[in-house]
Chain A
Amino acid sequence: MTTLIVNGESRSIAASPDTPLLYVLRDELGLCAAKFGCGLGQCGACTVIVDGKAVFSCVTPVMVLEGRTVTTLEGIGSRDAPGPMQRAFIAEQAAQCGYCIPGMMMRAQALLNRDPQATDESIRAELQPHLCRCGTHMRILRAIRRAADEMRPKTVEARTGR
């Protein structure tokens, strides 16, 4: 049995060790934010954060995650208490069908956790693995910019004169 830390809680996983994390999250843990898009690591809809890095959960077997820390969209806020990334996507109305959005948000969250100063260019480059079919890209970029501005510590703002 594999044990993971999912959104801050230790979870024992009954699924066989070769099961991709995506199916464990959705089917066993009832966390439906991460989406099946391709099963091939080509679209990004399944993206979650593992130990601070964005990973494709559809191609990551749970056996390699023993004891590691997994954060899903459910772990960065809720409908009643949305986190800064979620507030930014609502404020920018950055979704059409929305199916690709949770994966985009998780990669953006990982980027901003690692680099609060992320530039527009680095945000675009970071999102290259992700597909959106509705053409919501401009709003997604605006939402991540907004989240970055909100998440950046005030001391950093003072230091950079922003």
Chain B
Amino acid sequence: MMQAVSRRSVLAGAGALIVAFRLSGTHAQTETGTGGSPSKHGLPGSLDDTPRIDAWIRIDASGAATILTGKAELGQGLKTALLQVAAEELKLPLERLSLVTADTARTPNEGYTAASHSMQDSGTAIRNAAAQARELLRDEAARRLAVPSTSLQVRDGEVFGADGKRLGYGELVRDQLLSVDAGQTSRLTLPADFTVMSRPVPRVDIPAKVTGGAAYVHDLRPEGMLHGRVVRPPSYGATLRDCDVARVERMAGIVKVVQDGNFLGVIAEREWAAVQGMRTLAATTNWIEREALPDEADLPAALMNLPSRDTTIHGTGNPGAPGILVEGTFSRPYLTHGSIGPSCALAQLEEGKLTLWTHTQGVFFLRDAIAGMLRMPAENVRCVHAEGAGCYGHNGADDVAADAAILAVAVPGRPVRVQLMREQEHAWDPFGPGMVVKLKATVGADGAIADWHHEVWSQSHMMRPGPPGTLIAARLKSAPFPPAPPVALAQPEGGGDRNAIPLYAIANCKVVSHFLPDMPLRGSSMRSLGGYLNVLSIESVLDELAARSAQDPVTFRLRHTEDPRACEIIETAASRFGWTTRVKRSESTGFGFGFARYKNLEAWCAVAVEIDLPRQSGIVRVRRVVAAVDTGQVVNPDGVRNQIEGGILQSISWTLFERVTFDRTRVTSVDWSAYPIMRFDSVPESVEVHLIDRPGDAFYGVAEAAQGPAAAAIANAIRDATGARMHELPFTAARIKRAIAA
């Protein structure tokens, strides 16, 4: 491999004593907001930040265990996977475990639930903590029975001696038994002995979700709850000239109207009254707006003309080697996260202390941001994670929590539930940034890639809380907080330049990142960050080089791949698809292939597709998708499949349909008609996901791994079907028809 791999997988087996983890935290700040400093204790995953075992595992007198994680369930199946890991190592049945997720008052601080880090951070910590807790219980039993620990067996929450004596965890646990720091080694269960891990355990959250249980923050209904709605300005930087607060306060059911600078909110006894009050208030407002947005018709040029901080993130060999030249400028528009449920939060101020129930990805960072915004001590603010609709990154969750906090402060004692309206979620989303990639490469007479030059332009992909100025409400209030400074995520994980360095072996290769400190539209983290466009661009040019030099695209990839796991994933996807025996059903059939290792550090994923694309219509129908994935040790195979299937479909939607639109003043794609996403008529006929399990290996982040490869496979299939190479996302029917005609 070309690039330095920053973290190591350690697999040292000696009987049952196995250490399988990846040392982290020795590199730049990551998207989780943690790391960035050398390892503190040399412990695996988040144990390094929070080494006390009982910060993760508590056992009560009945022998039941409570597991604590600083990560949050986002619909990715985290709860189930963490419970599996804990049950396996504690040797307790799943039904005797309960789980507490991110809560500033109860759980470890594990930064953001982001960047596909949850299993490697929290899963690794809980696995090791659980294994060490089990050994502490075994040792305690040995002490009480006055026998060697090695003579005792542990199963189903009990320790058994050779003479038939047995002690339950509830009897063994005593004050302080687990109140110790984790040691350097853990007696982890061997993969061959797994009974819970590596099994498709059904998700613990699904039954409530499909039977109408209170499953989301949206569903919380505490006694005395009020409903809030906010009025957002019509555009970035708009200032309020006037509005008629009194008219809304006279409306039936309205409790209060809150105005603070440009921040406007309505509180009502009933939700529909709050919506009506908000609509009425909005109708009475007059705003001063300004034209501050770029020309959407030529967004790539607008982005490339912005001031940039330029870094050569990779350079080998001598650029400019001759050969058949392929070059292209690829671009993606701003994309919206598009949660089906607009963001929601519940807040309550009692005796000077504020509690927030929120679907934020980072309860501790949000607590600090909101405390800063309200000028309260952080210890007087508690953030408790409660599930929201899928977010896929930094959506309106933090903003609506700030809205709810301000409204709750206006009605002390009463809980206030605030949900955004669809148009607010769409217009004020911290979008996945618009980006540009320019790629130029040559293939030599020997058929190998001779030269590769990749440049990427992007604004920040990391504008999460932290600073109060990341919250919309903090920017709208009178005496507003300053805008948060742009954060450039550094390699090796990268931000806009994530996955910009090709994994392929290329002798002469240069990659330049142009970080744009300006933010023409509000932007932040969205699933895979820059990885989506970088992988699409790399894999498109790779296919084009193969085509121009008359080589099979899969063979061409393998020829330039040194990493054996990458080879295996490419070969698996190709063989399961039947790549070498593929036959076009008609002249509108196209086949395409895409591959990447997410961040060049996480899961390996290859995707092959078959599409149908009539030249007359330009409409892409995806018939068949076959993916292969290596995520290291699999905890829940069905959970991995669900994530990859979902990633593939979401990526197809981004690639074929999605684009934030705007004029020089306002975002204009504020509903699902103006921002279409995939509907059932565009769903593939079949999607297959093949997993390569690696028993005993570490966990590699998987939830974002399909975004780039799926898009690349579609782009390459369009080329195969039509001869047209697409560069500008989304690849709509109109654009495909234009490209065919060109």
A residues in contact (CB < 8 Å) with B: 15-16, 19-20, 23, 26-28, 30-33, 35-40, 42-43, 45, 72-74, 77-79, 82, 86, 89-90, 93, 95-102, 105, 124-125, 127-128, 130-139, 141
B203 near A95 with CB under 8 A, answer yes
- Give residues of chain B (639-689) contacting chain A, Cβ–Cβ below 8 Å: 642-643, 645-650, 653, 671-673, 677-681, 683-684, 686-687
Residue-wise interface mask of B (268-305) relative to A, using a CB-CB cutoff of 8 A (1 in contact, 0 not): 00111001000000000000000000000000000000
Q: Which residues from chain A contact B212 at a C-beta distance below 8 Å?
A: 31-33, 72-74, 78, 102
Q: Which residues from chain B contact A132 at a C-beta distance below 8 Å?
A: 340
Q: Which residues from chain B contact A139 at a C-beta distance below 8 Å?
A: 642, 645
A124 near B683 with CB under 8 A, answer yes
B687 near A138 with CB under 8 A, answer yes
Query: Of all chain B residues, which has the CB nearest A45?
Result: B340
Q: Which residues from chain B contact A33 at a C-beta distance below 8 Å?
A: 211-212
Residue B350 interfacial (CB < 8 Å) = no
A135 near B210 with CB under 8 A, answer no
With contacts A45-B341, A134-B646, A141-B683 taken as known, whether A98 is within 8 angstroms of B671 at the C-beta atoms is no
Query: Of all chain A residues, which has the CB nearest B425?
Result: A38
Identify the interface centre among A79, A96, A97, A127: most chain B CB within 10 Å of its CB.
Answer: A97
Q: Which residues from chain B contact A27 at a C-beta distance below 8 Å?
A: 227, 270-272
Q: Which residues from chain A contact B205 at a C-beta distance below 8 Å?
A: 98
A101 near B202 with CB under 8 A, answer no
A-B contact pairs, 19 of them (CB 8 A): A23-B271, A33-B212, A35-B340, A35-B341, A36-B419, A96-B75, A97-B339, A97-B387, A98-B206, A125-B681, A127-B680, A130-B679, A131-B677, A134-B75, A135-B649, A137-B678, A137-B680, A138-B649, A138-B683
Option from B211, B342, B646, B648 in Cβ contact (under 8 Å) with A96: B646
Q: Which residues from chain B contact A23 at a C-beta distance below 8 Å?
A: 270-272, 275
- State in angstroms the CA–CA spacing of A20 and B77 once bound together: 33
Residue B319 interfacial (CB < 8 Å) = no
Shortest distance from the beta carbon of A124 to any chain B beta carbon, whole Å: 5
Inter-chain pairs besides A74-B212, A86-B211, 19 sampled, C-beta below 8 Å: A27-B270, A32-B212, A36-B341, A37-B340, A39-B275, A89-B206, A89-B210, A90-B202, A93-B200, A96-B75, A96-B642, A99-B75, A99-B388, A99-B390, A102-B209, A128-B681, A135-B646, A137-B649, A139-B645
Q: Which residues from chain B contact A125 at a C-beta distance below 8 Å?
A: 680-681
The interface stretch among B1-9, B216-224, B591-599 is B216-224
B646 near A131 with CB under 8 A, answer no
B206 near A100 with CB under 8 A, answer no
Option from A95, A124, A135 in Cβ contact (under 8 Å) with B206: A95
Residue B208 interfacial (CB < 8 Å) = yes
Query: Of all chain A residues, which has the CB nearest B683?
Result: A137
Residue B207 interfacial (CB < 8 Å) = yes
- State in angstroms the CA–CA spacing of A138 and B622 once bound together: 13
B271 near A26 with CB under 8 A, answer yes
Q: Which residues from chain A contact B653 at a C-beta distance below 8 Å?
A: 135
A93 near B638 with CB under 8 A, answer yes
Shortest distance from the beta carbon of A24 to any chain B beta carbon, whole Å: 8
Identify the interface centre among A27, A79, A136, A138: most chain B CB within 10 Å of its CB.
Answer: A138
Q: Which residues from chain B contact A127 at a C-beta distance below 8 Å?
A: 680
Residue B338 interfacial (CB < 8 Å) = yes
Shortest distance from the beta carbon of A141 to any chain B beta carbon, whole Å: 7
- Give residues of chain B (195-247) contacting chain A, Cβ–Cβ below 8 Å: 200, 202-203, 205-216, 218-219, 221, 227
B642 near A99 with CB under 8 A, answer no
B392 near A133 with CB under 8 A, answer yes
With contacts A42-B672, A93-B202 taken as known, whether A19 is within 8 angstroms of B211 at the C-beta atoms is no
B338 near A101 with CB under 8 A, answer no
B272 near A133 with CB under 8 A, answer no
Q: Which residues from chain A contact B338 at a C-beta distance below 8 Å?
A: 133
A134 near B650 with CB under 8 A, answer yes
Shortest distance from the beta carbon of A3 to any chain B beta carbon, whole Å: 18
Option from A30, A95, A105, A131 in Cβ contact (under 8 Å) with B672: A131
With contacts A39-B422, A40-B671 taken as known, whether A93 is within 8 angstroms of B218 at the C-beta atoms is no
Q: Which residues from chain A contact B683 at a C-beta distance below 8 Å?
A: 124, 137-138, 141
B75 near A97 with CB under 8 A, answer yes
Shortest distance from the beta carbon of A126 to any chain B beta carbon, whole Å: 8
A90 near B340 with CB under 8 A, answer no
Residue B421 interfacial (CB < 8 Å) = yes
B271 near A97 with CB under 8 A, answer no
A130 near B271 with CB under 8 A, answer no
Shortest distance from the beta carbon of A61 to any chain B beta carbon, whole Å: 10
A79 near B207 with CB under 8 A, answer yes
- Give residues of chain B (61-77) contacting chain A, Cβ–Cβ below 8 Å: 74-77
Residue B389 interfacial (CB < 8 Å) = yes
- Give residues of chain B (618-648) contacting chain A, Cβ–Cβ below 8 Å: 638, 642-643, 645-648
A99 near B422 with CB under 8 A, answer no
- State in angstroms the CA–CA spacing of A48 and B677 once bound together: 23
B211 near A74 with CB under 8 A, answer yes
Q: Which residues from chain B contact A138 at a C-beta distance below 8 Å?
A: 645, 649, 683-684, 686-687
Q: Which residues from chain A contact B210 at a C-beta distance below 8 Å?
A: 73, 82, 86, 89-90, 95, 98, 101-102, 105
B649 near A98 with CB under 8 A, answer no
Q: Which residues from chain A contact B75 at a C-beta distance below 8 Å?
A: 95-99, 134
- State in angstroms the CA–CA spacing of A95 and B200 once bound together: 14
- State in angstroms the CA–CA spacing of A97 and B646 once bound together: 11
B422 near A37 with CB under 8 A, answer yes
Identify the interface centre among B272, B392, B684: most chain A CB within 10 Å of its CB.
Answer: B272
A82 near B207 with CB under 8 A, answer yes
Query: Of all chain B residues, which has the CB nearest A96?
Result: B75
Shortest distance from the beta carbon of A58 to any chain B beta carbon, whole Å: 10
**Pairs of residues from A and B, 4 with the lowest C-beta to C-beta distance, nearest first:** A97-B75, A135-B649, A33-B212, A97-B390
B680 near A133 with CB under 8 A, answer no
Q: Which residues from chain B contact A86 at a C-beta distance below 8 Å?
A: 210-211
- State in angstroms the CA–CA spacing of A37 and B341 once bound together: 5
Shortest distance from the beta carbon of A139 to any chain B beta carbon, whole Å: 7
A78 near B422 with CB under 8 A, answer no
B218 near A131 with CB under 8 A, answer no
- State in angstroms the CA–CA spacing of A102 and B202 once bound together: 19
